[in-house]
Amino acid sequence: MAWMDIFRANKPSTAQLAKERLQVIVAHQRAGALHAPDYLPKLQKELLEVIRKYVAVGEDAVNIEVERDGDTEILELNITVPSSKN
């Protein structure tokens, strides 16, 4: 069946795609299941309040994500502030 691999080479098999999708899904699921951090929405809200004391930002200025890397969890904060032009 080796000759068939030639046709397969440039296109991943559907099983391969399934596996890649699952790796992402499961990583998210496990990250979420750990502490399903219920403090996250509150943290997000309070951070927004603090930031708003200094800069005018929209509701979605603070973005929080939890990622799992081996045994450690990484809390990723993304804060978008308008660039100060003056």
Partner 1 sequence: MAKIIVVTSGKGGVGKTTTSASFATGLAQAGHKTVVIDFDVGLRNLDLIMGVERRVVFDFINVIAGEATLKQALIKDKRVENLYILAASQTRDKDALTEAGVARVIDELSKDFEYIVCDSPAGIEKGALLAMHFADEALIVTNPEVSSVRDSDRVLGILSSKTARAKSGESVREHLVITRYDANRVARGEMLSVEDVKDILAIPLLGVIPESKDVLNASNQGSPVISLPDVQAAEAYKDMVARFLGEERAHRFLDPSSKGFLNRLFGG
The three state secondary structure string of the chain is CHHHHHHHCCCCCHHHHHHHHHHHHHHHHHHHHHHCCCCHHHHHHHHHHHHHCCCCCCCCCEEEEEEEECCEEEEEEEECCCCCCC
In the complex, minimum distance from the CB of residue 27 to partner 1, in angstroms, rounded to a whole number: 10
Q: How far is the CB of 37 from partner 1 (least distance, A)?
A: 14
Contact stretch for partner 1 (CB under 8 A) within 25-33, 45-53, 67-75, 76-84: 25-33
26 near partner 1, rule: CB under 8 A: yes
Question: Using the rule CB under 8 A, which residue among 23, 41, 45, 49 binds partner 1?
Answer: 23
State the Cα–Cα distance between residues 19 and 24, nearest whole angstrom.
9
Under the binding rule (CB under 8 A), the answer on residue 67 touching partner 1 is no
Residues that bind partner 1 (CB under 8 A): 1, 8, 13-16, 18-19, 21-23, 25-26, 29-30, 33
